Amino acid sequence: MSLKNLTIKKFAEGLRNKKFSAFEITKEFFGYIEEEDKNVDAYLRLSKNSALERANKVDVEITKGKELNILAGAPLAIKDNILIEGELCASGSKILENYRASYDATVIKKLKQAGAIFLGKTNMDEFAMGSSTENSA
């Protein structure tokens, strides 16, 4: 079964039914990114340690029998203009290349509460203002 082609609903069912774990899925996605990203340069930075840590927490909650949000354990890519506390957030710009977010964006707070896994930050046009689809960072 190819995990990368699952819908969120099928993914959540498989996770709850222990057909796979959040940790396994997260590792599989990082393997896929390492293989394929050299061809597209979609990711600026990966968050392997924090992603695997969050995935492990989701697996522990499942083992305890807790009712989880449908997004729990779901691996997500986050655009580089979305703030994640403590992480670099350059908005695709060299001007902000060393900026670290001092707080979580509202969407990140909600996704964290839901148990989503953040794989890393993805490239984008500078400040999300372009239409050229050129990668800027």
Per-residue pLDDT in tens (0 to 9) along the chain, 137 residues = 576 678 999 999 999 999 999 999 999 999 999 999 999 999 999 999 999 999 999 999 999 999 999 999 999 999 999 999 999 999 989 999 999 999 999 999 999 999 999 999 999 988 988 766 666 65
Q: Domain residue spans in the chain?
A: 3-128
Q: In whole angstroms, what is the distance from residue 107 CA to residue 31 CA?
A: 26
Burial status of residue 28 (CB atoms within 10 A of its CB: 0-12, 13-18, 19 or more): middle
20, amino acid identity: F
Give Cα separations from 93 to 10, 77, 132 (angstroms).
37, 18, 15
User: Residue 82 is encoded by which pair of tokens?
Assistant: 């979305």
The predicted model scores a pTM of 0.90
How much is the pLDDT for 26? 96
